Amino acid sequence: MMDEQHIASAFDRDLEAIQARIMKMGGMVEVAIRDSARALETRDEELAQEVRAKDKSIDALEELINEETARLIALRSPAASDLRLVLSVMKIAGNLERIGDYSKNIAKRTGVIADSPAVSDSAAALRRMAREVERMLKDALDSYIRRDAELASDVIARDLEVDQMYNALFREILTFMMEDPRNITPCMHLHFIAKNIERMGDHVTSIAEQVVYLVTGEKPDEARPKGDTTSVAS
């Protein structure tokens, strides 16, 4: 009995340490979203370079989390419910790493946008969109720590707002491209950035879905509506 209790407490300690790394990684990704959008809006190439440089730390942290979770499974042989928890950590880390990559991609475009004439207030619109994704990520991580399926479900629902913001921006960008051929190149970059932010929202939603599954044992409705209508054939 004492051996079982010792194994259980050791598992809890190891898992707590890994979850602390997840929250650290989540905080770094939140900063990456915020800084990449701010660099774009203010045309701050130095800040954009910082985002790109810091992405290596995010990648390294994901690798460390994966190594530690694999070691935890091998050493502690967790029961089914605990195994589900450990695997959710790996999936959340993977989603965070992808969001970090999208932030880095946005930062890479800052130099090109900085050398182009401003296209209306599109950079500000992109920052508003990124801010909503950042808020969603914070709530998704909070829902994970608190095991709050209701908050996670709210995050999933809010992804529709991000999709609608993307759709509106996409239509606006198309209008600018048609109005003046000189807008085509900067608008293509702006659309690339908008799509990156929209995909960030999808990865945040995946984190929230992991939380719902973790708490309830049931996967959220896979037929949830997607608000991105730009790829739907007319």
Domains of the chain: 2-216 (1.20.58.220)
Burial 8-22 (b: 16+ CB within 10 A, else e): eeebeebbeebbebb
Tell me which DSSP letter residue 182 carries: G
Compute mean pLDDT per 10 residues along the chain, 234 residues long, and list them: 55 91 97 95 93 97 96 87 89 97 94 73 88 97 96 97 95 88 86 96 97 88 60 42
Residue 79 has a pLDDT of 83
The 3 state secondary structure assigned to 90-108 is HHHHHHHHHHHHHHHHHHH
Residue 132 has a pLDDT of 97
Query: What's the pTM value of the predicted model, to 2 decimals?
Result: 0.88
